[in-house]
Chain A
Amino acid sequence: DVVLTQTPPTLSATIGQSVSISCRSSQSLLHSNGNTYLHWLLQRPGQSPQLLIYLVSRLESGVPNRFSGSGSGTDFTLKISGVEAEDLGVYYCVQGTHAPFTFGSGTKLEIK
């Protein structure tokens, strides 16, 4: 199975600070059809997860553009440019290129 390693496991940020989360895959996530099925989710406390970024860098509708995704192959990054209080929660990367789909272990973002 593909292992997604997320770092750091926890992140503490002040309002307005920019932060990045890394997601590294044990295998390339480039599908034979040319797509890379690496997505980012946010789970706020007590809520269901929500999709932020799909296919590495595409911003889900309604998601603020302070969120951005980048990367290719096995290395991917989620960046938040100017953290806001509502961004606290656990961030997960997830891959849908190789069966079974797998999630990263999560990065907990705390607001100082």
Chain B
Amino acid sequence: AVQLVESGGGLVQPKESLKISCAASGFTFSNAAMYWVRQAPGKGLEWVARIRTKPNNYATYYADSVKGRFTISRDDSKSMVYLQMDNLKTEDTAMYYCTAGRSGFDYWGQGVMVTVSS
């Protein structure tokens, strides 16, 4: 069965950095584009970032709200995807989900909470 397990969340102060991770299993990770989606408390879903596969040069895409501050990366040898978050803002407080699948949203992790507060 497909599993996506996020980790690394926590409480940080504004302008600090945090790196969250997602461990994938149950599918051929190297063939799959990977995504991060977030959800602020009590709010809707927001797509954050996408990374494509090696044949697609690991191309990356970002929401305007995080462009220049967040970096998505992957390690196919470990079936891991990461989100490096720099210069965090209070508005980045959210549950962060790792997702995958042919639609991009077939599979979801349980999410990891990131809280940005002074």
- Chain A contact residues, CB within 8 Å of chain B: 1, 37, 39, 41, 43, 48-51, 54-55, 60, 90, 92, 94, 96, 99-106
Q: A49-B108, A54-B102 are in contact. Are A103 and B45 (CB under 8 A)?
A: yes
Contact with A along B51-72 (1 / 0, CB 8 A): 0000000000111100000000
Would you give 26 A-B contacts (Cβ < 8 Å), ordered by A?
A37-B103, A39-B103, A48-B97, A48-B108, A48-B109, A48-B110, A49-B45, A49-B97, A49-B105, A49-B108, A51-B105, A51-B107, A90-B44, A92-B45, A96-B103, A96-B104, A100-B64, A101-B35, A101-B47, A101-B50, A102-B47, A103-B44, A103-B45, A103-B47, A104-B44, A105-B44
Residue of A nearest to B64 (CB): A100
Residue of A nearest to B46 (CB): A103
Central interface residue in B45, B106, B107, B108, by most chain A CB within 10 Å: B45
Tell me whether chain B's interface is mostly helix, strand or loop, or mixed: loop
Interface size (B, Cβ < 8 Å)?
22
A99 x B61 contact (CB < 8 A) = yes
User: In the complex, what distance in Å separates the CA atom of A39 from the CA atom of B108?
Assistant: 14
For the A-B complex with A39-B103, A51-B105 known, give 13 more contacts whose Cβ atoms are closer than 8 Å: A37-B103, A48-B109, A48-B110, A48-B111, A51-B106, A90-B44, A92-B45, A99-B61, A100-B47, A100-B61, A100-B63, A100-B64, A103-B44
Shortest distance in angstroms between A39's beta carbon and chain B's nearest beta carbon? 5
Q: A48-B108, A48-B111, A49-B108 are in contact. Are A55 and B46 (CB under 8 A)?
A: no
Neighbouring A residues of B61 by C-beta, 8 Å: 99-100
Shortest distance in angstroms between B96's beta carbon and chain A's nearest beta carbon? 11
Q: A101-B50, A103-B46, A106-B44 are in contact. Are A54 and B108 (CB under 8 A)?
A: no
